[in-house]
Amino acid sequence: MNRCLFKTLGCKTNQYETQLLREQFLENGFSEVDDVNEADLLIINTCTVTSNSDKKSERLIRSLIRKNPKARVIVTGCCVDNPYSRVKDIKDVDLFIANKDKDKIISYIKDDYVNSIDTIKSFSIRDRAFVKIQDGCNNFCSYCIIPYTRGKPVSRDLKKIEEEVRNLTKSGYKEIVLTGIHIGLYGYDLGTNLLELIDRLISIRDLARLRLSSIDPNEIDRSLIERMKDSDKICRYLHISIQSGDDRILKRMRRRYKAKFLYKLLDYLKKEIPEIGISSDFMVGFPGESDKNFKNTLSLVKRYDFVKTHIFTYSDREKTESYNFKNKLSEDIKRERAEILKEESLKSSMRFKKNFLAKTLNVLVESRKDKQSYLLGGYTDNYIRTLILDANINHINSIIPARIIQIRENNTYSKIQN
């Protein structure tokens, strides 16, 4: 019973934690398989951020068990910590392991285990690696279940993160993505902060690129923006968790900023770093959201050129404050608004990409080929994904200059510039 299959749903933090589990099991004599039918042990890392995430987790677990009913099944992740998730009703699961005990799973499987691994050496995506810098959140936004499933903010030791990044870059990883549940809170419990961590990491000689994952608007200060301007190692990109462009909805969501602040921040970012790529999350259909409230969010998306947006509809999460809010919107209205915002978001993305036609940008070439064109591609530092017409396997995991020559059906095409 030493063949494992790992499955992960949800955020970059979950992906990092699965990689840590993978390396713990491999260190302890287990092997990894890709075929569920060959596995003796199934380890599923779940997500519960929305009701749809819950359903995906449940479907995946049931599907894997149906395909291989003889395998031992371990389920971990945020569904396990959500007391209202239906995942824990699945009878054929052998063990449910809470997030706080995720790194101890090996101890439930093997008595004489070696549990000396607390940093990762590699990542499943060969071209970039996610590095978890903290866990937990104490914002308690009215709609969010995550503070209940992840607990209070806890930062990883700065030296441990630095050691991990140093080892990953020495192994050939060109891009490091800093991830966590609420990265803007990094260091508050250690007497340090995110900027100090960034400064330590960009001093690592082998590091080519450092990218930040999702960050709250009110945690982007001038010092961070100045550092992004001054260092050619920090990607000119931010994923800003905006959620809404309407003051009334932001207040009901318990977000800690107003629309006026968002406009000032986005204007300032575009002024200071003109080529910055900004992506964001927007929720539609929050309880009590009027046509006017929705149009205010739509206006924000129309005004700015986002490289990418994630549009999702509100879903009730038991235990959260908004679960008891009145004036819930129908699924039809939520779907309609989501489609309108998605359409506008695509236009926004196209506007951003067209700004770079005939320009040369540095691209980290990925090992995976595009499924339709079979072309190699990668991401610019400001998060434009481009397919490179003349790239070959010798360019994989290299950062090369590529000239944007065409944008078609929201796909960006480029050619190598020597």
For the chain, the domains span 3-109, 128-354, 360-416
The pTM of the full predicted model, rounded to 2 decimals, is 0.94
* pLDDT tens figures, 17-55: 999 999 999 999 999 999 999 999 999 999 999 999 999
Cβ distance 186 to 180 under 8 Å? Answer: yes
Q: Is residue 258 a contact partner of residue 298, using CB atoms and an 8 Å limit? A: no
At 368, the amino acid letter reads: R
Structure tokens at 122: 């590699």
Q: How far is CA 164 from CA 106, 115, 122, 156, 198, in A?
A: 21, 17, 10, 11, 14
In whole angstroms, give the CA distance from residue 133 to residue 185.
10
Q: Please give the Cα distance from 230 to 211 (Å, whole number).
A: 15
For 33, the token pair is 């398989």
Tell me the β-bridge partners of 96: 75
Task: Say which amino acid occupies 106.
Answer: I
Q: Which pLDDT score is estimated for 116?
A: 62
Please state at what angle helix 194-202 crosses helix 158-170, rounded to 10 degrees.
Answer: 30
360-416 has which CATH code? Answer: 2.40.50
Both tokens assigned to 140: 């308690």
Is domain 128-354 given the CATH code 2.170.120.20 in the classification?
no
Contact assessment for residue 136 and residue 147, using Cβ atoms and an 8 Å cutoff = yes
Round to whole Å and give the CA distance between 330 and 350: 31
CATH superfamily of the 3-109 domain: Methylthiotransferase, N-terminal domain (3.40.50.12160)
List the chain residues with pLDDT less than 70. 1, 112, 114-116, 124-126
Three-class secondary structure assignment of the chain: CCEEEEEECCCHHHHHHHHHHHHHHHHCCCEECCCHHHCCEEEEEECCCCHHHHHHHHHHHHHHHHHCCCCEEEEEEHHHHCCCCHHHHCCCCCEEECHHHHHHHHHHHCCCCCCCCCCCCCCCCCCEEEEEEEECCCCCCCCCCHHHHHCCCEECCHHHHHHHHHHHHHCCCCEEEEEECCHHHCCCCCCCCHHHHHHHHHCCCCCCEEEECCECHHHCCHHHHHHHHHCCCECCEEEEEEECCCHHHHHHHCCCCCHHHHHHHHHHHHHHCCCCEEEEEEEECCCCCCHHHHHHHHHHHHHCCCCEEEEEECCCCCCCHHHHCCCCCCHHHHHHHHHHHHHHHHHHHHHHHHCCCCCEEEEEEEEEECCCCCCEEEEECCCCEEEECCCCHHHCCCEEEEEEEEEECCEEEEEECC
Rounded alpha-carbon distances, angstroms, from residue 386 to 263, 377, 378, 391: 29, 6, 6, 11
